[in-house]
Each structure stands twice: as structure tokens, then as C-alpha cells.
Amino acid sequence: MALTWGETDAVDVIVVGAGFAGLTTARELVKVGRSVTVVEARDRVGGRVLSHTTAGGLVLDVGGQWTGPGQDRIIALAEEMGVESFPTYGGDKTHIDYANDQRVLYKGALPEGDPAVYAEVFQAIMTLTQMSEEVPLDAPWTAPHAREWDAQTMQGWMDANLTLEGAKSRMALAIEAVYAVEPHDLSLLHMLFYAKSGNGLLTLVSTEGGAQQDRFDGGAQSVAIRVAEQLGERVRLSSPVRRITQDANGVDVEGDDFSVRGWRCVVTVPPALAGRIEYRPAMPALRDQLTQRAPMGSVIKVQVVYETPFWREEGLSGRVVSDTGPVRITFDNTPRAGSPGVLVTFIEGGDGRRYSCASTAERRLAVVGCMTRYFGPRASEPAEYVERDWCAEEYSRGCYGAVFPAGTWVSCGSAIREPVGRIHWAGTETATVNAGYIDGAVRSGERVAAELLATLANNS
Ligand SMILES: Cc1cc2nc3c(=O)[nH]c(=O)nc-3n(C[C@H](O)[C@H](O)[C@H](O)COP(=O)(O)OP(=O)(O)OC[C@H]3O[C@@H](n4cnc5c(N)ncnc54)[C@H](O)[C@@H]3O)c2cc1C
């Protein structure tokens, strides 16, 4: 049934949010003949995935971009949409480990700056991987040590288990790179859940064989755009949802200038944003408490564009790990064609919040200064500078995803996917596999679509 915007004719399902979770939900339901309306706050689809075209005509992923082994659902979706992927540059090249004002060059997966430091870090990762084995992905709060682990922060665990300052600094860098928060902001239980969900911390920090292995040709958002094209007028942009009201017969989803009625509704926005929507009747206590205790990480993604990837001439991969900020990690993000040269970095956690308060000129100065320290004087004169502060985005309010501080999983975690009447929940934060990643978002859409179809089958 065609739905005219502003009318209150019921559709089967209203989906809030046109990120990968919302688009997948809609796609799965439409495939089996259900009527769907997707309401999206922004004037575009893709959510935390955005491919931006620069003044020079270069397409850059300013949000999520990488996939890797085990991220099967996004890989399958991209293949179906005809979007090709290609490997991240530089696995067989030389990387830079910058610590104590020294630039140490190395090859292979693990930095070699100080062997004792990296031995301790590697041992810590192995211990954490073993601990994570006991965390059930669908119910982390039921793990045998859930209370003990959710009562401490990752920083507490590092203080108790790492002896070398260098090891603590490198471990903190790994945590910030994956979770976009500092270790003191992160529950140990959440750290373990998330790492296991993504096939282990080693997979999450790795490029070849890991979560940064491949990129999408033409940008990751092109996958979302093609799904949205197939959904056509079912996707309504520039329509922030303000209130969701449910009664015995259906659910009304309302914005400033629209109202749409459905049998069921799926909210695919992260918990912190879901908590900003008004619900009638009000959310149960546990669900609302969850949304109060699941803040987003802090990330500014920055890309510095050069005429050529000049570091390649020196055999460098473009990858840096550094103990000195704000640029503490870099990758070569040059397009598949090989030109122009692009270095990408992420200003994360506390640095992300601090630099969010600075001006673009100040951030640019700091970032280009770091690039010059790592790659030499040729890095000091970029052709373009592109940044995206995800904390400042009204409809994300941070990234990469929600990060549970101490206590959240054990006190409120059971509300994460539990439907409330006619309202169901999706989004990467609800995923059990690859939570926090694009793949997790796709999986959450597939899961909630199956959940809805079971419910609709019973009701129709
Ligand atoms: C800088 C950055 C780098 C990342 N890197 C990677 C990576 O390399 N690989 C990877 O797999 N993942 C990465 N991620 C994470 C990945 O992008 C997310 O996990 C994924 O896109 C989440 O999808 P989602 O559909 O669950 O949520 P979202 O993409 O957040 O979708 C939710 C949608 O809801 C909309 N919305 C919000 N509020 C409302 C409202 N009130 N009414 C209507 N609509 C609303 C939003 O605009 C958005 O479109 C990165 C993220 C960022 C920001």
C-alpha cells in the first residue's frame, strides 16, 4: 500500500533510521512482501557511514570504511549491490613505530620498538582473549565472572596486570583505536564482550587478516545508497523522529511535520539517541536506564591528501603507531587507482573531545605537524585536509559506537534487544557478532526482521 507522507494509514513496520541496520531491516521485510516506511533524520542514508566528495573530486570515507574476514553479512550485501572491495595498502611494506621520540621501522603485524613492551602487550591480549571465551555473546551479564569484570574498568585491569609503562601506553592505544574511549571509561566486561564479538582483540587491531583488511571501491556509503535506491519512496529523509506512541492496535511515529502509523516499529539508532525520543507510554525503567548508561565513543576522523602517496617511494606502508598525539595511528587511505595520496587518522577518546573544542585551523596544524614528524617535510604541505567530528553530529553524537562503562551490562544489559510492546530494537549496538561494526549493523537488521516476521505471522 502506498503511503502518502503525513497520512496515518498503517504500514506493517516503521523503521527509525536509514543506517545499515535500518536499511537491512527494511530490505528483508520488503523481500517477503511486507509494507515498510523508513524514517531518517538526516538528508542522506548510511548513518555512521558517509562517503564525502572533496573539492578536488576525491571520494573519501569520512565514517566507517573497512571490512575483514568474518564480516560476512556486509561483504555479501556489498557483493549483491555490485560494490567491489580492495585490500588496504601496505601489508608487505615497512611500518613506523614512534615511541620516546624515536622512529623505529618494522615489517609484519606487530611493532618491534621494545621487545619487552610488545611481549607484555601480546601476553595481555592472549590473556584477555582467553577470558573473553567465557562471555556469552547474547547475554554477557550471565558470564561466570560478569559481576567482577563489569565492576572494573579496563584501566584497572591494565594497572593490575601490566608492569611496563610502555606496555600500558601501547595497550591504551589499542583500546582507544578500537573503542574510541580511554581505558578508564570502559567496563572490562564490555571490552571482553566486544572483542569476542569481533573474533578477538587481535583481529580488531589487525589489518591483514583483521578488521582493517579491505576497503570498498568508491566508498562504503555506496552500498547503503544502492539498498536505499531499491527501497525507493519507502525511505523518507530529513524526518527526525521525536515521539513514538503505541496502543493496543498499532504504533504512531511522529516528527515535527509528519505522523505515520504501523503495526510495529523498529528503532535502529544507538541507545544514547534512542533515549532522546519521547515514548508514550514511557519506557520501562530498565530500558530507560540502559539508554542513560551507554554513551558513545569520541572520534574525529581526519584525512590528509597529498599529490602523490610519496611515502610509498620510500617503501613505507603509511602505517604509524605512536605514543605521541593527537595522531597516534595512521593508514594509507589512497584510492584504489593509486593517486592522490591519502593518510587517514583518528583522534579518539579524550583527545577527540579536547580537539572537538579546537578550531579547524588548530586541528589541522596539530595533525599536519604529526604527519611531518612521521613522514618528513613532504608531509607538511597537503593538497587537501578533510575532517569529520562525529561527536558534533546531531544524529550520531559520537562513534564508533556505544561504549558501556562499568556496571551497565550487569545492571541493564538484558534490555538491549528486549522488545517493548510494539517497539523492537536494532542497530550495531544490539548485535552479538561484530557489534560496533557495519557488519554488526547488517546482522542486527537481519535479526530484527526475523523477529518481526515471527510476530507478524502470529498477528495476521
Ligand atoms: C569515523 C568512523 C569510523 C568507523 N570505522 C568503521 C570501519 O572501518 N568498519 C566498520 O565496520 N565500522 C566502522 N565504524 C562503525 C560503523 O560505521 C557503525 O557500526 C555502523 O555504521 C552503524 O550502523 P547502524 O545502522 O547500527 O547505526 P547508524 O549508522 O548510526 O544509523 C542510525 C540512523 O538513524 C538516524 N537517526 C538518529 N536519530 C534519529 C531520529 N530521532 N529519527 C530518525 N532517524 C534518526 C541516523 O541519522 C542514522 O542514519 C566507524 C564509524 C565511524 C563514525
Closest CA to 67 of 453, 439, 443: 439
Give the pairing type, strands 278-280 and 243-246: parallel
What is the rounded distance in angstroms from the CA atom of residue 258 to the CA atom of residue 262?
A: 13
Instruction: For residue 208, give the 3-state DSSP assignment.
Output: coil
Maximum Cα interatomic distance, the chain, rounded to a whole number of Å = 68
Reply yes or no on whether the pLDDT at 53 is more than 80.
yes
pLDDT of residue 114: 82
Question: Which of ligand 1's atoms lies nearest the C-alpha of 396?
Answer: 30
Question: Which of ligand 1's atoms lies nearest the C-alpha of 276?
Answer: 41
In the reported structure, the alpha carbon of residue 252 is separated from the centroid of ligand 1 by a whole-number distance in angstroms of 24
What is the rounded distance in angstroms from the CA atom of residue 29 to the CA atom of residue 12?
A: 9
Is the distance from CB of 244 to CB of 280 less than 8 angstroms?
A: yes
The residue with greater pLDDT, 346 or 457, is 346
Non-local (6+) Cβ contacts of 173 within 8 A are 321, 323, 328, 329
In the reported structure, the alpha carbon of residue 431 is separated from the centroid of ligand 1 by a whole-number distance in angstroms of 13
Confidence grade of residue 1 (pLDDT, cut at 50, 70, 90): very low
DSSP 306-368: ESS-GGGGGTEEEEEEESSSS--EEEE---TT--SEEEEEEEEHHHHHHHHTS-HHHHHHHHH
Question: Which of ligand 1's atoms lies nearest the C-alpha of 440?
Answer: 19
The residue with greater pLDDT, 55 or 243, is 243
pLDDT of residue 3: 39
Residue range 335-342: average pLDDT? 96
CB atoms within 10 A of CB 442: 31
Reply yes or no on whether the pLDDT at 2 is more than 50.
no
What is the rounded distance in angstroms from the CA atom of residue 154 to the CA atom of residue 186?
A: 6
What is the rounded distance in angstroms from the CA atom of residue 45 to the CA atom of residue 221?
A: 8
Which of 254, 389, 400, 443 should be mutated for ligand 1, with most atoms under 8 A from CB?
Answer: 400
* pLDDT > 90 in the chain, percent: 93
In the reported structure, the alpha carbon of residue 268 is separated from the centroid of ligand 1 by a whole-number distance in angstroms of 9
253-279 pLDDT tens trace: 999 999 999 999 999 999 999 999 999
Which of 28, 49, 387 should be mutated for ligand 1, with most atoms under 8 A from CB?
Answer: 49
Three-point CA angle 440, 181, 373, nearest 5°: 110
CB atoms within 10 A of CB 245: 17
In the reported structure, the alpha carbon of residue 174 is separated from the centroid of ligand 1 by a whole-number distance in angstroms of 21
In the reported structure, the alpha carbon of residue 428 is separated from the centroid of ligand 1 by a whole-number distance in angstroms of 8
Q: Sign of the C-alpha dihedral, residues 421, 427, 429, 431?
A: positive
In the reported structure, the alpha carbon of residue 356 is separated from the centroid of ligand 1 by a whole-number distance in angstroms of 19
Confidence grade of residue 8 (pLDDT, cut at 50, 70, 90): low
Residue range 112-141: average pLDDT? 93
Which of 214, 269, 416, 439 should be mutated for ligand 1, with most atoms under 8 A from CB?
Answer: 269
pLDDT of residue 402: 97
In the reported structure, the alpha carbon of residue 396 is separated from the centroid of ligand 1 by a whole-number distance in angstroms of 7
pTM: 0.97
Reply yes or no on whether the pLDDT at 4 is more than 50.
no
Three-state SS letters, 367-428: HHHHHHHHHCHHHHCCCEEEEEEHHHCCCCCCCCCECCCCCHHHHHHHHCCCCECCEEECCH
User: Using a 6 Å CB cutoff, which residues line ligand 1?
Assistant: 16-22, 39-42, 47-49, 63-66, 240-241, 268-270, 273, 277, 299, 301, 390, 395-396, 399-401, 427-428, 436-439, 441
155-181 pLDDT tens trace: 999 999 999 999 999 999 999 999 999
297-331 pLDDT tens trace: 999 999 999 999 999 999 999 999 999 989 999 99
Question: Which of ligand 1's atoms lies nearest the C-alpha of 439?
Answer: 11
Beta bridge partners of 303: 344, 386
Reply yes or no on whether the pLDDT at 405 is more than 70.
yes
Closest CA to 333 of 175, 210, 214: 214
Three-state SS letters, 12-51: EEEEECCCHHHHHHHHHHHHCCCCEEEECCCCCCCCCCCE
Confidence grade of residue 195 (pLDDT, cut at 50, 70, 90): very high
Output the average pLDDT for the chain.
95
CB atoms within 10 A of CB 120: 20
Non-local (6+) Cβ contacts of 8 within 8 A are 252, 259, 260, 261
